[in-house]
A = this chain, B = another copy of it.
Amino acid sequence: MLPWLNLGLPRTTSPAQTNHALNLSSYLARLVASGQATSRSELARVTGLARSTVSEHLLPLLRIGLIAEHEAEAGARGRPPSVLTLNPQAGVILAADIGAAKGRLAIADFGQHFIVERSIQTDVARGPDTVLAEVRTAFLQMLAERQIDARNVRLIVVGLPAPVDFASGMPVRPPIMPGWDNYPVPASFQQEFSAPVLVDNDVNLMALGEARCRPATQCPLLYVKASTGIGCGIVTHDGQLHRGADGAAGDIGHVRVPGHEEPCRCGAYGCIEAFASYGAILRKVGGDVGGDPGEAQLSALVRTAAGEIGEVIAMLVHFFNPAVIVLGGRMTQFGDEMLAGVRSVVYRRALPLATRKLSVELSTLGNRAGIIGAVVLGVEHVLSPQGLRSMMPTTE
C-alpha cells in the first residue's frame, strides 16, 4: 500500500457541487462571445444539446442582458435565425497594461470590441499611489468621453511588469518597482469603482492574448518578451496560464549565462537581461558611439543578443517542449534579425525531436498583445460560471 495517495482529485471544489446549469450557461455564453455560434440552432449543433435545452439555458443570459438578439436579414432558405451577440450595453471591462515607462489603457465590451484605447506615460518608479491614481483618472476621463456610467464597469484588469500573486492581486518583490511590494492594487480602485479587480503579470497577459488569437492546437505556447527586461509567459496544453507557486513563473530575465559578467540591476552578475535585453543594447550603443547608433550597428547587436536569448529559449524548448514560441517586446522592431538570431540558435541547439514541429514566430499582436490579453482575461472571467453567478439576480 502506498504511503498516502491523492489520486489526481480536484484540489478544492467537489465536482458534485458544481452548478451544471451555470456551467452550461457559461459555455453557451463563451461560444457566442468567441463567434463560434450565432444562433440557437447553431449552439445546439456545436454543443450537441437539444435545441430546447439551449433555449432554456439561454433564458437567464437574455434576462440579465448579457446576450442580445437581433433580427437577421434573410438570404438563406428557411426562417432566418435570431442572431445572438454579446450585448454591448451589458457593461464594459477596463483594461490596463502598465509597462515600466509606457502603458496602454482600454475600455472593451464583452464582445471584445475595443471602445476606447489610449497610451499613457507610466513611470512605475514614482510609486503605486501616483501611477494608479493617474490610471484611475484616465479611466474616468475615457468613460466620460464615451458617456459610460462608472456603474457599468463590470471588471477591471491590470497588467504589471512584476511578479503578481494572482489570488490577492498584489505585486510580490518586484525588482524594478520600488514601493509596489505587496501593494494592494485592487483596493486602490475600490473608491471609484465597485467592480472586482484582477491583477496579473504583464507578460502573462501578452501570452494569453497571443494564445487566444490562435487555434488551440498551438498550445503549449511560450511568449518571450525582450524589451527593457526579458520575461516569458507560459500557456499550458489546456490553454491555462501557468503562474507557478508564487506567481513568479516565466521570470527568465535573471537566468545566468556563463561567459558573461555584466552587472544586473537585480544585484547579480551575468543575467541574460543585463546584456541581451533591448535596454542593454541601447546602453551599449549609447556608451560606445555617443547617441547616434546607426541602423546597421543596432541590427547587428540585436542579432547577437537574439542569439544569446536563443540559447535560453533552446533550454526552455528542451524543458517545456512547446508547440509555438512567440517573440514579442520592443526588440521585435528588428523583427527579421530577432527571428533569424533566435531561430538559428534554437534549431542548432535543441534536439530535433523537440523542434520538429516547433514554430518560432514574431508576435502577431505587437504592442497590443498585453491589452488584448487583459481584455481576454476579463471576458473569460466575466463569462466563467463564477462570473455569471455574480450577475444572476438574487438567488443568494
Contacts and interface: CB of A to CB of B under 8 A. Distances in A.
A242 B237 contact: yes
A246 B322 CA distance: 8
Interface stretch (A28-36, A61-69, A122-130): A28-36
Interface stretch (A292-300, A330-338, A348-356): A348-356
A251 B316 contact: no
A389 interface: no
B24 A5 contact: no
A289 interface: no
A42 interface: no
A378 to B, nearest CB: 11
A8 B246 contact: no
Interface in A9-32: 9, 11, 14-17, 20, 23-24, 27, 30-31
A4 B213 contact: yes
Contacts of A163: 353
B4 A353 contact: no
Interface stretch (A76-84, A90-98, A139-147, A214-222): A214-222
A383 interface: yes
B214 A2 contact: no
A351 B112 contact: no
Given A9-B31, A212-B6, A232-B319, A246 B356 contact: yes
A321 B251 contact: yes
Nearest to A43: B16
B172 A249 contact: no
Contacts of A31: 9
A167 interface: no
A174 B1 CA distance: 33
Contact of A14 (B46, B243, B249, B256): B46
A312 B319 CA distance: 10
A102 interface: no
A245 to B, nearest CB: 4
A1 B311 CA distance: 36
A244 interface: yes
A239 interface: yes
A245 B8 contact: no
Contact of A383 (B7, B213, B357, B372): B7
A256 B349 contact: yes
Given A5-B213, A7-B34, 19 more contacts: A5-B33, A6-B212, A7-B380, A7-B383, A11-B239, A173-B352, A173-B353, A175-B351, A220-B245, A245-B322, A245-B357, A246-B353, A246-B357, A248-B318, A248-B321, A250-B319, A251-B351, A319-B320, A320-B320
16 contacts: A1-B111, A2-B112, A4-B214, A7-B212, A7-B380, A8-B212, A8-B240, A9-B34, A14-B27, A14-B46, A245-B322, A249-B320, A252-B319, A255-B314, A258-B258, A320-B320
5 A-B pairs with least C-beta separation: A244-B321, A245-B323, A249-B321, A16-B47, A258-B258
